[in-house]
Chain A
Amino acid sequence: MDFRTCVNIQKEWDIVGARQFGRDFSKKLGFGIVDQARIATAISELARNIYLYAGSGKICFDEVENVGSRGICIVAIDTGPGIKDISQVMEDGFSTSGGLGAGLPGVKRLMDEFDITSKTGEGTEIRVVKWVR
């Protein structure tokens, strides 16, 4: 993953920048407008979590390939407080917005692959992939 591009998240405004970058990138990769909108929403959720809970971090973008299909890989990285109970966070209805489909379970639904690693006190890394169909 050499050519990965990252957008730093420090201010709320940076969330918009990350969305914009992700949308342009996914358009270039050949995603239709529905998937572009889904990807942008997933980026929003990830970036907002960084902004709210970690203070700062970054969202990195990469093109991925797998037996003939292309996709977008998005990694959200921060060195914030980390998530103590990941299974609980991934449960529907747990997020503070209270079961409106958003939050991390929503990100998982919007994307094809979802992977999270987090250590309390060290930070969180969430990697998601969506394939062009």
Chain B
Amino acid sequence: MDALKLDLSHYRELLKQYINTQDESALYEAEQISKRSIQHNISLEEIINTHINALEDIYPELPENIQHSMSFLLEVMISYGLALQEFQDLRETQLEIKSEISVAARMQNTLLSTVKPDVEGFDIGVVSVPANQMNGDYHHFIHHEDGTVGITVADVIGKGIPAALCMSMIKYAMESFPSEHKNPSEILESLNRVVERNVDPSMFITMFYALFNPAASTISYSSAGHEPGFYYHAADDTFEEIRAKGVVLGVTDMAQYRQYEREIHAGDMIILLTDGVTECRQGDRFIESEEVLEVIKSFSHLSAQELVENVYKHFEKLQDFHLRDDFTLIIIKKDV
């Protein structure tokens, strides 16, 4: 149980020195002993025992009542010692769990990786950063043969491992849909049934699905209760919320989703995000979405990728480098 014992003679000499001189240097050394003991897993009761033995060595005539009092102290410390051991074991377990999670996070990154489309006439930027190790946000690009691109942005209400597991399921469900299945409303309706059947009712998934047609310069989209995105009108330098009605995935099995379409004009931007962006907090204060838009505007002269990265850095700093929620931001800019 005790891998190592305290060095009794060292302890005794130190104790003697201290009793004689009340010297601070002996106390400093005592501190070192205490730290070393923790490092070497020397139990609390073992330290007290060493103290008792040292005391008896120094004072062979130690009164019996003092001896008994020391045994009493030892007894009192046994349960403390046990609690400390449990704590150490739990700390080891925690480290194991942490490393398992980081493996899982790496796997998730591989599983959910996606390639940002490179389309003529447009500039696209993406950032997605998890608050903890595992990302509960999801974004994905599907490159269709006809040149159109399916864009998914989703958010699982709830964070961490359950959210991440859920996302992997969503991804594979979407991949199993036939390739001619491209309409945002249809996709959300199919996905809704999958989620309703397979995901724990306590878990909610919001999703924005868009079919982007670069050749026609249009985007059609549907939303399942997802945080609305924004449309930037270059002509009058204003933002407009991209409203789309639709119930969160998995709530009812017969959900229907409306599909909307808009044309994208030169210099305009489509901004898709998760609530980790709009619900950034500065201290106790939630920032307003106007603030997000201000920040986006202030970087809008940059390329789309630089733009999203700068917005992220801005809010990362604003939140003292401690994200409270997963942060995903996608910006599609039409060239002028």
The answer, yes or no, to whether B86 is at the interface (CB within 8 Å) is: yes
Asked if residues B49 and A33 are in contact (CB atoms below 8 Å), the reply is yes
B79 touches A101 (CB 8 A): yes
Q: Is A11 an interface residue (CB 8 A)?
A: no
Query: Given the complex of chains A and B, what is the CA–CA distance between A102 and B80 in angstroms?
Result: 9
Interface size class of chain A, counting residues whose CB lies under 8 Å from the partner chain: 10 to 19
Select one of B49, B89, B93 contacting A34, CB under 8 A: B49
- CB pair A101–B49 under 8 Å, yes or no, is no
> Which of A46-54, A75-83, A92-100 is near enough to bind chain B?
A92-100
**Which range contains the number of B residues in contact with the other chain?**
20 to 34
Whether A100 contacts B78 in the complex (CB less than 8 A), given A34-B45, A34-B46, A34-B49, comes out as no
Task: State whether A92 touches B86 (Cβ < 8 A).
Answer: yes
User: Does B242 reach chain A (CB closer than 8 Å)?
Assistant: no
Q: Shortest Cβ distance from B70 into chain A, in angstroms?
A: 9
Q: State which of A33, A99, A100 has its C-beta within 8 Å of the C-beta of B79.
A: A100
Is B161 located at the chain interface by the 8 A CB criterion? no
Could you say which residues of chain A place their CB within 8 Å of the CB of B81?
A: 101
The 7 closest A-B pairs by CB, nearest first: A101-B83, A101-B82, A101-B86, A34-B49, A106-B82, A41-B78, A37-B78
Q: Which A residues fall within an 8 A CB radius of B?
A: 32-34, 37-38, 40-41, 92-93, 99-102, 105-106, 109-110, 112
7 A-B residue pairs with Cβ-Cβ distance under 8 Å, sorted by A, are A37-B74, A37-B75, A41-B82, A99-B90, A100-B79, A100-B83, A101-B83
| Sample of 6 further A-B pairs with CB below 8 A, known A38-B78, A101-B86, A109-B82 | A99-B83, A100-B83, A101-B82, A101-B83, A106-B79, A109-B86
